[in-house]
Structure 1
Amino acid sequence: MESTPQPDFFDRAYAEGDPPWVIGEPQPAVVALADRGELTGRILEPGCGTGEHTVHLTRLGLDVLGTDASPTAIARARDRARDHGVAARFAVTDALDPGDLGRFDTVLDSALFHVFDPGDQARYARGLAGLVRSGGVVHLLALARTGAAAEFGPVIDAAAIRAAFTGPVWTVEEIASTTYRGIVTTDLADAYGQPPGTVVDVPAHLARIVRT
């Protein structure tokens, strides 16, 4: 990402309909994390968007707060929680300037880190350091660079994660390969050989980062 989009870019995207990352359900990689019991304690989901993950995790009985800089996204997330009969918690918060939200045991970042430019990636990691308890874990799901002529969205190399989450505050324990599910847009239809609206799984990184 050459420069970090302004929050109103995302607010417009949520106001105009469903952006391609809104699939109406949690990401399979996040569901797998929850099923393995890796999302524990007090959980923060920055960049929660329309709330699919926060609602899913709350339904499982987990203590989770979803935040996003987009007021429209948070309004839609609250509507989703109400429609599903789930008492999920949300707040409008800029992930680059989160303030004092308290301390968390786990952070779930699904496709937020990769929208930042390198400077803001480091700033984001520094902000999380003040929110995560010692021994806490950040699970980071981000689109992986493939070198294709058309990428699904903002993409990063694994090195970007290691550069931002650096010692002595952080230890990047693992960066595994996984997939991220999204919806093909009109602009990407030719590149993917699929009609707009098709659900696709694209390469992604899944990092486990420990607060030291």
Structure 2
Amino acid sequence: MSVGYSLAYRSGITPWEHRNSVPDPPFERLLDREEVGRERPFGRALDLGCGTGHHTRLLQTRGWEVMGVDSSRHAVDTAIDRGGESSRYVIGDVAHLPGCGVGKGFDLFLDVGCFHGRRPADRTAMGRGVTELASPGAVLLMMCFPRGRRLFGANGADADDISAAFPEWELLDVRDADTSCMTGPVARHKPRWYRLALTAGPSV
């Protein structure tokens, strides 16, 4: 998916960016839950497959020390332009996180439609990388289309796929995404939110 994804950004055919450009109160309520009991700054966050940085900037505005990572240079360049001097982004593949220069010690990981578009081997590598970069007790929020729902090149994923790629994480919650703020194609594919927490230290 990453090659097609980069081509889409270079050609300007990125319908998912429209979804990310509008206010999304249901998504912000998911973040509210992660901020309960924390004081600003809430901790370190990594936006996986950040695209042009909509969610990265939102997390920063809310009080997270956040970094975005994406394989598309065009998307990252746009994210930097929109974020100004305070923005922090890295061009890198989510299947090779430890070597892409984002650092370690993240308390929150956000994946809005990245994992479900990767091949099985990449999903496993992504799980290992996220675990290596995570702080104890870190949380991962992931939005996926159900398996078999193809849109924007994504194959979809379910709880079994996610648990297989993140064996050291506990799946705490699965819920249908509130599609009231989503564009038609995305809403029709009935995305779901998954919430996981790291239950063990990174593998050695």
Which residue identity is paired with 1:172? L
* Contact 2:127–2:166 under 8 Å retained in 1: yes
Residues 118, 38 of structure 1: CA spacing in aligned structure 2 closer, same or farther, 3 A cutoff?
Answer: farther
Residues 21-170 of structure 1: pairs in structure 2 closer than 5 A: 21-23=16-18, 24-25=21-22, 29-38=26-35, 40-82=42-84, 87-98=86-97, 99=99, 101-145=103-147, 151-153=150-152, 154=154, 155-166=156-167, 169-170=168-169
Larger Rg: 1
- More off after superposition, 18-27 vs 105-114: 18-27
Instruction: Give 1 or 2: higher strand fraction.
Output: 1
The answer to whether structure 1 residue 20 and structure 2 residue 15 are counterparts is: yes
* Contact 1:140–1:206 under 8 Å retained in 2: yes
Q: What is the aligned partner in structure 1 of residue 197 from structure 2?
A: 210
What is the CA distance between 1:28 and its match in structure 2?
5.0
Q: What is the aligned partner in structure 1 of residue 202 from structure 2?
A: none
The answer to whether structure 1 residue 171 and structure 2 residue 166 are counterparts is: no
Secondary structure of residue in 1 paired with 2:16: coil
Secondary structure of residue in 2 paired with 1:78: helix
Instruction: Give 1 or 2: higher helix fraction.
Output: 2
State how far apart, in whole Å, the 1-side matches of 2:175 and 2:142 are: 10
Residues 121, 28 of structure 1: CA spacing in aligned structure 2 closer, same or farther, 3 A cutoff?
Answer: farther
**Using CA pairs below 8 Å that are at least 6 residues apart, which structure has the higher relative contact order?**
1
Percent sequence identity over aligned pairs: 32
- Using the size of structure 1 for normalisation, the TM-score is 0.77
- Structure 1 unaligned runs (5+)? 185-191, 193-198
Matched positions, count: 186
Residues 135, 200 of structure 1: CA spacing in aligned structure 2 closer, same or farther, 3 A cutoff?
Answer: closer
Two-structure CA RMSD over aligned residues (Å): 2.5
State how far apart, in whole Å, the 2-side matches of 1:18 and 1:183 are: 15
- Structure 2 unaligned runs (5+)? 37-41, 200-204
- Using the size of structure 2 for normalisation, the TM-score is 0.80
* Contact 1:158–1:205 under 8 Å retained in 2: no
